[in-house]
Structure formats: C-alpha cells, structure tokens
Chains A and B, each alone.
Chain A
Amino acid sequence: MKTKLLLMLAGSFYLMPLYAGDLGLPALPVPADNPQSVEKIALGDRLFNDIRFSSTGTVSCATCHAPEKGFTDSPLETSKGINDLRGTRNAPTVLNAAFNKTQFWDGRSPSLEDQSQHPFLNPVEMGLASHDPILEIVKSEPQYVAAFEASFGVQPDQIEMAHVMKAIAAFERTKIAGNSAWDKWYFAGEEDAISASAERGFILFLGNGRCVSCHVIEQDQALFTDHLFHNIGIGMNDIQPRISELAGAFLKAKAAGADVDIAVLTDPEVSHLGRFVVDEQLSSMGGFKTPTLRNIALTPPYMHDGSLATLREVVVHYQNGGVTHEGDPVNDFLSGGIRPLNLTDQDIDDLVAFMEALTTEGLTPPATALNRAEGSQRFATGVQPATSTGGGE
C-alpha cells in the first residue's frame, strides 16, 4: 500500500528540473532592481568574507555563516561575534535563504539586501558604530573600486551601502541547494535513492508527524516552510512568569526608539518573545519562522536558541506536544497546531532518516575543513542568469 502511494505521488508530481543542482527547488526569486551578474556575485563573495568589516577586524559574515558548516557556525548553540560575545540566536543557514519571504528567525527583515546591513552594526556581532568604515575601505581599495564599477557602474564617491547590500545579497542568492536523495526519489522517480526508513519517515512527515502543515512541500518543488511564525514551545517556557512585564517593557522601549535588532540579539529574554517584537500581535507571542528542512542535518544544534542538540531531540520535542522534557508545563501561547503525537521510537528514527535524506548531493560537512575557497566553489553551481524572473519579495 505504502509503496503504491509513494509511486503515485512521485509519478504524478514529477517535473523536469532546469539542471541537477536545482532539483526540487522553485524558480529563484531575484528582485528587479538587483539582477544577478558574475561580477556582482564575485564582489559579494569578497564582501561576505572580509573580516575588516568588524570593529575588531576579526569577524566576517562567513564567521557565523561558514560554507563548510552548511553556512552556519555549527555546532555553536548561539552565534559568537567580536570579542567572543554571544548572541541569542542560532545562526540560520544562508543555503536557500534566497527563497525566504522574510529574513531572521523573527522575520524582522524583508529581504536578503536589507538583512545584510544589520550584523555589521550589532554590538554582539560585528560591532561597528556605523557603516562608514566599510564604505571607507571599498572606496579606497583598488580591487573593490574596480569590482563596484564592474558591478554597478559607479565611481568610488558614488558607492553607497545599498551597493554593498545588493552585492552581498547577489552572492547569497547563488547559495541555493536542492538535489537531495529525497528530491531524486520524489521528483525524479529514482526508487532506490533513499532508504526504507527515510521512505517511512516521509509518510510520517505527511501524516501522523503533522510536519508538512508548516514545513510545506508543493507538487513540483519543496522549500519545507510556510514562511510563517509559530510558537512551538521553545524559549517561552523559560520566561512565562515574566511575559507581561517583558512584553510591556519591550514595547515601551520600542516606542521610545530602541533598536529591535540589538534588543533581540543582546537580551535572551526579549529574544524569546519571537515574532511579537516585530508585529506586536498577541498571537505572535513566542513565534518563530518555520525554517527549511533542506540540509538540516548539516547544521546542529537546532531551534532559534540552539537548545536542541540533535534532530532526534527535535522530533521528541514535537512528540511531547511542544515541551522538550516530557511532563514539563506547556506554555500558554503554544500554537494550536502543536499537540502530542504518539509516535513510536521507530517512527522517530524514521523521521530523522527522512530529514537526513534532505542533504544536497555532495554536501557533507568535513569535520575540520577550513578551506573557504573550496567551499565557495562547491556551492557556485547555483548561479542564476541575470535574466531570472522573480521579485518575489
């Protein structure tokens, strides 16, 4: 029965991908005002890796979004910026971030372009007082000057942060990664591409695991996210008794002009308020963005605060109905979609096997690899032509 159903699904949803690296992904959305170009992508790559854009001269974007770690800083629970200062959030991967409708765990940024400007200034990330030091470097160094001219047709005195942001975003837009074993099995009909356990895990993912309602897949592509925000019981349990006080104090500070980006990354309790800090809706209390499941096996630990070490712990958290340790109290604002699952141990193993089958072919995290260049090349296959349609922001 199961095999028949799977064959039916795989058969009817099959769609010829544009090329192998894209298998299972939708068309890449590219904003009309920031078309991809080879020059711009190379410039973005350089900016992304430039450690001089931090107050200590030691931290670049790649510090927390390292290619060999699935573009995260795995296995850190929360990211480490200048002077080993710790943020409050687990670094989200750059891989397939181009498809996100909002950026950051709480969606407080609308685009890759906008997102890229914030970590430079955050006191626990790159710690600059303003963007001026970045502009000074890119306006004075000949290689950068040439690259900005080639990318945007601008002279040094015309270079603005908007150009820096666009170049970084263009580079990040090349980090798309489909073509997992599961994609080959599901979209390309390769029956032996995944294990029997992963096949069972996929059925559970669609059924009793209740996963697919938020980690959405479509008939011809799968991003494994609904782009929405849900309180799934991570973080809120710790601040429950003080919610009223914290939420009130935060809103007063926000109304008085406090920087949301700084507040959420420097104060763990404010961080746990989640999406609420952005839209101030009661129903967003403690809600965080549904992350993609693609390449999830590369980037432990998990959840917005990195509090769950393994994929198995994640499934057990859902199995328990939104608490990490069975029997702990459930937070008052828990999403109505989260409830105890009644999975068996075998079911949990199968769900983990399914998630492990979502890793892009050729991506394995070398334990000690520090070769950035090789990592970059490995991901460079996803470059889209500048004529890509999109603007899906």
Chain B
Amino acid sequence: MKRRDFVKIGSSSLIAGCLPVSMVQLAFAGEQENFTFAYVSDSHIQHIKGNKFVRNWDRGLITAVAETNLLEPKPDFVMFGGDLAQMGSKPELGHGAELLAKLNYKTHMVMGEHDYYLDLGEYWSELFGPQWYSFDHKGVHFVVLNSILTDDEWTFNRWENGERRMAEMAGLDNPNGSPFMVGEKQREWLAKDLEKIDRNTPLVVFSHSPLQKIYKGWNFWTDDAEQVQALLAPFAKVNVIYGHVHQIQYNQIGNISFNAVMATAWPWPYPSTYAQAESHLPIMTVPMNRADPFNERDATGWQFMNMHSGRVDLAYNLYNNQDRKVVFDTSKGHPVDKGYQDESARIAPQKHY
C-alpha cells in the first residue's frame, strides 16, 4: 500500500483517530510493503468454579477483542502472546479460546507458562496446534517459539502432580521455580528453519518470555537467550516481541530489536514504584505511573503494530492511561519511546502510595 492510499483511507477511518499522525509518517518512510497486525497478550483467564470465571480478566480480553475488531484499516492478523489461562486448566483454555474466537481475523498463538505447566501443553496444542512454528507474510518471516520450557528434571521428576507444578511455576521470586528456556531441540529446529531464509529478509520472532535476560526472580528471563540471539544475529533486521512482563519494555542488541507488549489482565509494577529493594530491572524499562486501583483496566492494554521496512512500530492502546508509541528510529538504529526518549521529556514516576 502506498502512503497516499493509507492517508486517504485513514482520514475516514478509526485508525486516524487512535494513531497519531507522527507514527503514520514514520511508518511509511520505507520502500517495502507495509502492513499492520494487532497483538493481544496475557489475559490470564481464571476459573472459579462451574461456569464462573474471574470477571476482571474476562473483561480485559473481551474489550481488547472488541476494539481490535474495530480497527480500520484491518490488521492482517492478530497475535496472542501467551498466558491465555491462569492455571492451565481445560475450562480456562476453553473459555479463553471462546472469547478469542470473536476476533474477525486469523489469529496466531504463542504458548505461555500459565498455559503449559498443568498438562505440559497438551490441551493447548489440541486447541491451537503446534507450540513452535514459522510462517511468511508479505516478505517477512515470522517465527513463533515456546520459550517457557525448562529442564527435564524440574518438568518431569520433581512434582507430585501437574497442579503443583503449575502453581510452583506461577510463583514470583519462588525458590522452587526454574528459569525458562527455549531448549536444544527447538534451537535446532530454529537453525534449520532459518537456513532457507535470505539474510536480508526481515525476521519477527514471537516468544512469551523475553529472549533476553532482565530479571530472573520473575522469569523476565530466558536462560539460553544468548544462544537464540546467536541464531538471529546474522539477519539484518530482527524483531523480538514478547509478553509475560505486563509492561512496556524495549531494547536493542546488535541487529535485534526487542519490544514487550501489555497484558489485558493486570500491569506488573514498574521498577521505581516496586523497588522494595534495589531494582535489578534494566534502564530500558520505562516508568509509568501506577495504575488507578478504581479502574480495573488502567495500565492494561493491547497494541497495534506496523511493519515498515522490516521493522515493527508499536502503538499501545492503554485505556485510562496515556497511549504510547514505541517506534524503530532508523537514524539511531534502535526502538524509541516517542513520548519518553529524552530524560527531560519523561513524566516523573509516582513514588508515593
């Protein structure tokens, strides 16, 4: 689509209202074919009993689905970034699938640890298919990884049942937990999958956990991140998009741009407001004001993504909060938060409660 065409459509369509003009301009600076997709993640659908589910988590996913359906121009597809369920049960995954089925678009799924550790992904795979795969779309090679695996001893031998295993992996700062990893088998598959891809083809890799090491205690972490990055390094333009962290993060390592997406369920606290002890979160994590406890949707959201010249720009739809954009700055060679790129332009985080 030519930029002129987009602007013409955009002026009479929803996207004109929810995306700032600056993003549209940047998004169409390149020569390659542009397209958009939406990204919904971390809905944590939680079963209470019978046909009762936690209302708040249901509402987050329902709203994201309804809003995504209103997008114009239509996104080419929707990604769901993992943690559809809270404790991985059939009712949770089934109910989540039912809510996602209302999307008017082709949907691709990523496995999250909350979907996996009850039955090791069995029911999820029955519903959604393979746990790692790749596909090509308009000149871009997309790869989906299951990055929340861990070692065999922890997975198969340590726990008396799946419920216990799931609960242990769901814990934060839990000494009984175990670091996530992609694992050797999948890395071999990835190496083979990438063999046939031209090094100048833009790559987009979706994982649930960050394919970089941020904070081990909350598994903002993938143990074999360096080995995965090494497989991606030969490519000119690589974008890694992950969920799990429930907050906006971005980073650049070599040719690889990293972007995190928001949850529809709840926000994790931001470093400067969380810091009960020294924060181990890296500088790339951008502070946001804490969520308004009255508004259940505050500091949650979903994102609209624009592929241009092989790079991903993210527009975050944040409900009660200020909408945000993280776009790839070609002159700087890394993603930039449009509202917060300079120290002087940042809104000071709220430090009191």
Using Cβ atoms and an 8 Å threshold, which residues of chain B touch A52?
A: none
| B66 contacts chain A at the CB level, 8 A cutoff | yes
**Are A337 and B317 in contact (CB-based, < 8 A)?**
no
B320 with A332: CB separation less than 8 A:
no
Q: A341 to chain B: closest CB distance in Å?
A: 12
> Is the CB–CB distance between A279 and B298 below 8 Å?
no
CA distance A285 to B71 in the complex (A): 13
- Given contacts A243-B70, A251-B13, A282-B18, is CB(A332)–CB(B296) below 8 Å? no
Whole-angstrom distance between the Cβ of B159 and the nearest chain A Cβ: 35
Interface string of B217-254 (1 = CB under 8 A from A): 00000000000000000000000000000000000000
Binary contact readout A326-337 vs B (1 if CB under 8 angstroms, 0 otherwise): 000010111111
* CB–CB A247/B70 < 8 A: yes
Residue A339 at the B interface, CB < 8 A? Answer: yes
- Residues of the B chain whose Cβ atoms lie less than 8 Å from the Cβ of A256: 12
Q: Is the CB of B16 within 8 A of A243?
A: no
By size class, the interface of chain B is 20 to 34
Q: Give every chain B residue within 8 A of A243 (Cβ-Cβ).
A: 66, 70
Contact B295 A280 (CB under 8 A): no
Provide the residues of chain B in CB contact with A252, threshold 8 Å.
12-13
Smallest distance from the beta carbon of B108 to chain A beta carbons, Å?
A: 22
Closest B residue to A332 by beta carbon equals B66
Please give the distance in Å from B253's CB to the nearest CB on chain A.
Answer: 33
Tell me the smallest distance from the CB of A177 to a CB of chain B, in Å.
Answer: 28
Q: Tell me the minimal C-beta distance from B283 to chain A in angstroms.
A: 30
Contact among B17, B56, B65, B67 with A251 in the assembled complex (CB-CB below 8 Å): B17
Specify which chain A residues have a CB less than 8 angstroms from the CB of B107 in the assembled complex: none
Give the contacts of A267-315 with B (CB-CB under 8 A): 279-283, 285
Chain B residue nearest to A279 (CB atoms) is B17
Kindly list chain A residues whose C-beta atoms are within 8 Å of the C-beta of B154: none
Residues of A within 8 A of B65 (CB): 332
Bound Cα distance A277, B268 (Å): 33
A163 within 8 Å of B (CB atoms): no
Taking A243-B70, A282-B317, A283-B319 as contacts, is the C-beta distance between A337 and B295 under 8 angstroms? yes
> Is there a chain A Cβ closer than 8 Å to B101's Cβ?
no
Does A337 contact B294, Cβ atoms closer than 8 Å? yes
B43-71 interface bits toward A, Cβ cutoff 8 Å, 1 = contact, 0 = none? 00000000000011001001101110110
Instruction: Evaluate whether A280 and B18 lie within 8 angstroms (CB atoms) in the complex, with A336-B298, A339-B56 already known.
Output: yes
A362 within 8 A of B: no
A-B contact pairs, 27 of them (CB 8 A): A243-B70, A244-B69, A248-B14, A248-B70, A248-B72, A251-B14, A251-B17, A252-B12, A255-B11, A255-B12, A279-B17, A280-B16, A280-B18, A281-B17, A281-B18, A282-B18, A283-B319, A285-B70, A332-B62, A332-B63, A332-B65, A332-B66, A333-B63, A336-B295, A336-B298, A336-B319, A337-B295
List residues of B whose CB falls within 8 A of some A CB.
11-14, 16-18, 55-56, 59, 62-63, 65-67, 69-70, 72, 294-298, 317, 319-320
Instruction: Other than A332-B62, A336-B320, A340-B55, give 5 A-B pairs with Cβ distance below 8 A.
Output: A248-B14, A255-B11, A281-B17, A282-B18, A336-B319
Interface of A with B (CB < 8 Å)? 210, 213, 243-244, 247-248, 251-252, 255-256, 279-283, 285, 321, 330, 332-337, 339-340
